[in-house]
C-alpha cells in the first residue's frame, strides 16, 4: 500500500484505524521530530467505536472549534454527541447544519457538568467514552494515543491526556503552558491537592504515561465496561469535584487512573465558569467538604473538620469581610452548611 493510499483511507474513513502512540502536533502540523507515517508509526487496525461527549452552555462557537478538531482526528470510527445544557438560545440549527454527523441533545434545564454528560450515555454506543469540555480542542492523534494506553495498560480505568492552556491570540511562538500532567492525592487534613505541571512550560518533562491520583474533567476517556461497573459521574456535585469523586470510585472498583502525555488537549480555561462568582465559591466549598465525607474514614474526617473550623472557615470569613465580598461570604457559609444540613 502506498503512502498516498494510506492517507486517503485515513481522511475518508474507509476503514477504522488507530495510531500507535504518535507525538502530538498543533493544527495538523507535524513536529520536527515526528515520524514518517510508514516508517516509524505502524497502524493498528481496530473496530473500537469511540463516543465523544461534550456539553454546550451558551458557547456555541467555542463548541464548534472543538467539533472541528474532532473532525481532524485520523482515528475512526468515532461518534460525537453534543448536549446543550439549556443555553439561552437553542443552537440546534447551527450544529445540525454545520455538523450533520453529530448527535444533538437538548436539556431544557441546566443539569450541571455531570448531569449534562450523563444525559448522553443512553445514546452512546461506543466501547470507549471520551468526555471533553466544549472549551477544549484536540491535537492530532489524541483519540488514538489514549486508546493505545488502554491496550498497553489493561487495568487502566480512566485516562486523561496532557492538558495545556490554549495559546492566546498574538502570543507568538513559544512552548505550551501546561495545565495538567496529573494530580496528587487529596490531603486528608486540608482537603486540598496539587495539579502536577500546572503553569510549567511544556519542554517534554512529562513525556511518559503514568498512574496519577485523579483524571481531569476537561478531557477523560473511560471504557464502557468500567462505566458499567463503577457507574456514571455523581450528578449532585453539579460543578467541581465530579471527576475526583469518579476517579476514586473507579479506583475502588479495582481500576487505575492514568495520564497519557502523548495525547494533548488545549483548554480555554473557564470561559464560562469564570463569570459565575459566588456560584463557583458555593460549589467549590460545598463539594470539597462533601468529597471528604464520601471518601475518607471517620478519624480523617474529624481531623478535616477541625481544620475547617479552626483554619479554613475563619480565614475565608476574614478575607471576604475585609474585601467586602458579601456574596462570596454567603456562598461559602451556605456551601459548608449544606453538608451539616445533609449530614
pLDDT tens digit sequence for 54-111: 999 999 999 999 999 999 999 989 999 999 999 999 999 999 999 999 999 999 999 9
Cell of 183: 494530580
> What distance in Å separates the CA atoms of residue 23 and residue 17, rounded to the nearest whole number?
17
Residue 171 predicted with pLDDT over 70: no
CA dist 162 and 218 (Å) reads: 10
Q: Considering only CA atoms, which of 163, 154, 201 is closest in space to residue 182? A: 163
User: Taking the model in full, what pTM does it have?
Assistant: 0.83
Q: Which CATH superfamily is domain 3-273 in?
A: Spore Coat Polysaccharide Biosynthesis Protein SpsA; Chain A (3.90.550.10)
Mean pLDDT of the 30-40 span? 33
pLDDT of 295-338, one tens digit each? 999 999 999 999 999 999 999 999 999 999 999 999 999 999 99
Q: Cα 58 from chain centroid?
A: 19
Which residue ranges make up each domain of the chain? Answer: 3-273, 276-342
Amino acid at each position: 500500500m502506498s503512502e498516498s493510499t494510506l492517507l486517503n483511507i485515513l481522511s475518508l474513513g474507509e476503514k477504522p484505524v488507530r495510531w500507535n502512540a504518535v507525538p502530538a502536533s498543533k493544527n495538523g502540523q507535524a513536529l520536527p521530530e515526528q515520524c514518517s507515517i510508514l516508517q516509524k508509526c505502524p497502524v493498528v487496525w481496530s473496530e473500537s467505536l469511540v463516543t465523544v461527549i461534550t456539553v454546550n452552555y451558551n458557547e456555541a462557537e467555542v463548541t464548534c472549534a472543538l467539533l472541528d478538531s474532532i473532525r481532524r482526528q485520523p482515528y475512526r470510527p468515532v461518534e460525537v454527541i453534543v448536549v446543550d445544557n439549556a443555553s439561552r438560545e437553542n443552537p440546534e440549527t447551527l450544529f445540525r447544519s454545520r455538523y450533520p454527523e453529530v448527535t444533538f441533545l437538548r436539556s431544557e434545564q441546566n443539569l450541571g457538568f455531570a448531569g449534562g454528560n450523563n444525559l448522553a450515555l443512553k445514546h452512546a454506543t461506543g466501547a470507549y467514552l471520551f468526555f471533553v469540555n466544549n472549551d477544549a480542542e484536540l491535537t492530532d492523534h489524541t483519540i488514538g494515543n489514549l486508546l493505545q494506553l488502554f491496550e498497553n495498560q489493561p487495568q487502566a480505568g480512566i485516562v486523561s491526556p496532557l492538558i495545556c492552556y490554549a495559546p492566546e491570540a498574538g502570543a507568538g511562538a513559544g512552548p505550551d503552558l501546561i495545565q495538567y500532567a496529573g494530580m496528587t492525592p487529596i490531603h486528608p487534613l486540608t482537603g486540598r491537592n496539587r495539579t502536577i505541571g500546572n503553569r510549567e512550560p511544556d519542554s517534554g518533562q512529562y513525556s511518559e504515561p503514568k498512574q496519577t491520583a485523579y483524571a481531569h474533567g476537561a478531557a477523560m476517556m473511560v471504557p464502557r465496561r468500567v462505566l458499567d461497573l463503577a457507574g456514571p459521574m455523581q450528578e449532585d456535585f453539579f460543578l467541581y469535584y465530579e471527576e475526583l469523586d469518579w476517579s476514586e470510585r473507579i479506583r475502588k472498583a479495582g481500576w487505575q487512573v492514568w495520564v497519557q502525555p502523548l495525547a494533548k488537549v488545549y483548554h480555554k480555561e473557564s470561559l464560562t465558569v469564570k463569570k459565575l462568582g459566588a456560584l463557583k465559591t458555593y460549589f467549590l466549598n460545598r463539594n470539597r467538604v462533601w468529597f471528604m465525607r464520601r471518601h475518607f474514614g471517620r478519624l480523617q474526617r474529624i481531623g478535616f473538620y477541625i481544620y475547617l473550623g479552626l483554619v479554613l472557615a475563619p480565614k475565608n470569613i476574614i478575607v471576604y469581610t475585609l474585601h467586602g465580598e458579601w456574596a462570596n461570604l454567603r456562598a461559602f457559609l451556605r456551601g459548608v452548611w449544606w453538608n451539616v444540613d445533609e449530614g
